Amino acid sequence: MKRRDFIQLTGMSAGAMMLPFTSFSNSVEVSRLLDPLLDPSQKKQLADVALNTTKSLGATYTDVRIGRYLNQFIITREKKVQNIVNTESFGVGIRVIVNGTWGFAASNSVTPEGVKKTAERAVAIAKANSKFQKEPVKLAPTASFGEVTWKTPIVKNGFEVPIKDKVDLLLSANAKALEKGASFVNSQIFLVNEQKYFASSEGSYIDQDIHRILPGFNVNAVDRASGQFKSRPAFSSPVGMGYEYLDGKAEDKVKGPGGITLYNKSYDIIEDATMAAEQVKQMIAAKSVEPGKYDLVLEPSHLWLTIHESVGHPTELDRVLGYEANYAGTSFLTLDKWQTKKFNFGSKIVNVIADKTQVGSLGAVGYDDEGVKCKKWDLVKDGILVNYQAIRDQVNIIGQKESHGCCYSQSWADVQFQRMANVSLQPGKEQLTPDQMVAGVEKGIYIVKDGSFSIDQQRYNFQFGGVLFFEIKNGKIEGMLKDVAYQANTQEFWNSCTQICDERDYRLGGAFNDGKGQPGQSNAVSHGSATARFNGINVINTGRSI
């Protein structure tokens, strides 16, 4: 198992145990978690307690977030269930501006008295902070939406599916992998439901019901004669959908170069585990790559991570300004580059958008955690850097009058701040399939699924690995490679992009666990692309000692 996958899997379990939770023995009891604790009118009454309290104490702005966060983890290994955990977290977070300064307080006492005390504490914190404030907070205006609702458009609520059915699915996938020769296999399903209520002194009362799902596995093979082992993770992506994502419809499958099956709007975990067991043995026997310059054909299940690290993080305005450096550092995309309107981020076919509305994406919501209606906007247009990701108290710095709607908090207990939107490379405008792209490559490598990576603290110099690597010779897939990683800097890499497949090949990748902030918070985010070609990229052999 690769370090990133290990951390994600163990992090799920550890994170689950850190939250307040109740374990339930059967799906009937689990389904009770979906019964609303408060109806919208009760939430509004509680929010009004906070709004009235903070106004009476001198707050010029207040927002209130009442949140209920449900998680379910089902984890198996080979023929056994390792863990089933259900977590529930419920509370209120109140943010205010007093004397031009932010204050925030939170509590799990969601009663009129508890909300009032929390509101008073938020105001007291703002007043204390104001002694050190050099400039007053400037909030970009936003519309007042009144009472509105938004829901993830799911077909099947995963929390209502009996646990037995989910366990049986995972164990069936494990059995197929073992039947095909896997040495070890673990699998999991992770479900998330965020029930979020937002109210502000500007007149918005927004009720949202958000669902996400992450199925996955790791299939491992050991060659006991040589001592080599390899791991092949699932080809699924976490998505903003319901349990229907695991329906595995035939029309949602994609055949990539080399005959591999990839997935788009639904996922067949049993088929993928079967294929993984065959491929992981091939990975051990694969030829070790010869270092040198190659044209890379990068599949969306791989390219999403390169987009995330080299485009998503460096276009976050707080990193650009140096206000934020935790986890991912700052950014080389400084304001002077943006101000010229000529900074050549990539080739002319590179168009990157941020989008908080894309159906099926992890970041899709109707309204962000500042009550701003979500939208999509350009970051890179025809290869030129044209914008950043910014929220209400940031956009004035870049001379804009409207928040981009990308503010988020991981829970009621954490203050909301700027988080990455879904950042995606737009498909090519001319019809082009991955097979046609490969046919035009003389010396190249086709890479599937994300692997290990390294990038510097300005998001500029980087190295990325993957999972499956196929050698391309004279327009044909010649076989599997191993020990592959490529190196570049961000600007050179995106300027080497010469082809992007059309919208028929467009797919989402993403992660549940994008970290930021101090104290740290985790954000779920998707990144879409079609298969893309990058010419003359330096490839190293990771299996050779120096």
* Cα angle 170, 20, 512; round to 5: 50
Query: What domain range is 361 assigned to?
Result: 288-541
- Which residues, listed in sequence order, are joined to residue 526 by a DSSP beta bridge? 510
Residues 514, 377: one domain?
Answer: yes
**Rounded CA separation 502/499 (Å):** 10
Number of domain units in the chain = 2
| Burial classification of residue 113, based on how many CB atoms lie within 10 Å of its CB (0-12 exposed, 13-18 middle, 19 or more buried) | exposed
Q: How many CA atoms lie within 13 A of 511 on its CB side?
A: 26
Q: CA 478, CA 470: separation in Å to the nearest integer?
A: 7
Instruction: Evaluate whether 459 touches 332 at the Cβ level (below 8 Å).
Output: yes
Check whether residue 310 and residue 200 sit in a common domain. no
- Pairing, β 292-298 against β 443-455: parallel
Q: Do 22 and 123 have their domain in common?
A: yes
CA distances from 414 to 51, 106, 293, 410, 519 (A): 19, 8, 46, 7, 9
> Do 444 and 342 belong to one domain?
yes
DSSP 313-359: GGGBHHHHHTS--TTT---S--HHHHHTT--B-S-TT--EEEES--T
- Quick check: is 520 in a domain? yes
Average pLDDT of every residue of the chain: 93
Question: Strand, helix or coil at 280?
Answer: helix
Eight-class DSSP state of 374: P
- Does one domain contain both 368 and 515? yes
Mark 317-334 as b/e (b = at least 16 C-beta within 10 Å): bbbbbeebeeebbbbbbe
Q: What is the mean pLDDT of residues 92-107?
A: 98
Where among 198, 216, 234 does a domain terminate?
216
Q: Is the dihedral of CA 315, 316, 320, 324 positive or negative?
A: negative
257 within a domain of the structure (yes/no):
no
- Both 299 and 167 in a single domain? no
Q: How does residue 31 score in pLDDT terms, banded at 50, 70 and 90?
A: low
Please check whether residues 305 and 420 belong to one and the same domain: yes
Judgement on whether residues 313 and 207 belong to the same structural domain of the protein:
no
Residue 498: is its pLDDT beyond 60?
yes
90 in any annotated domain: yes
Q: How much is the average pLDDT of 300-317?
A: 98
Domain presence at residue 130: yes
pTM: 0.93
- 28: confidence class by pLDDT, cuts 50, 70, 90: very low
Which CATH number is 33's domain given?
Answer: 3.30.2290.10
**146 domain-assigned:** yes
Do the domain assignments include residue 252? no
- Claim to verify: residue 29 and residue 147 sit in the same structural domain: yes
Tell me, yes or no, whether 344 and 444 share the same domain. yes
Peptide bond connecting 519 to the previous residue in cis, omega within 30 degrees of 0:
yes
Check residue 85 and report its DSSP letter: E
Please say which residue of 159, 181, 216 terminates a domain.
216
Query: With contact defined as beta carbons under 8 Å apart, do 272 and 246 qualify?
Result: no
pLDDT band at 10 (very low <50, low <70, confident <90, very high): very low
In a domain, 383, yes or no: yes
pLDDT, position 8 = 46
Q: Write the CB contacts of 132 (distance below 8 Å, at least 6 apart in sequence).
A: none
Residue 177 belongs to some domain of the structure: no
Residue 179 belongs to what H/E stretch? helix 163-179
pLDDT of 14 over the 50 cut: no
| Span 233-278, pLDDT tens digits | 999 999 999 999 999 999 999 999 988 999 999 999 999 999 999 9
Q: Tell whether 206 and 323 lie within a shared domain.
A: no
203, 322: one domain: no
Number of helical H runs and strand E runs in the chain: 11, 25
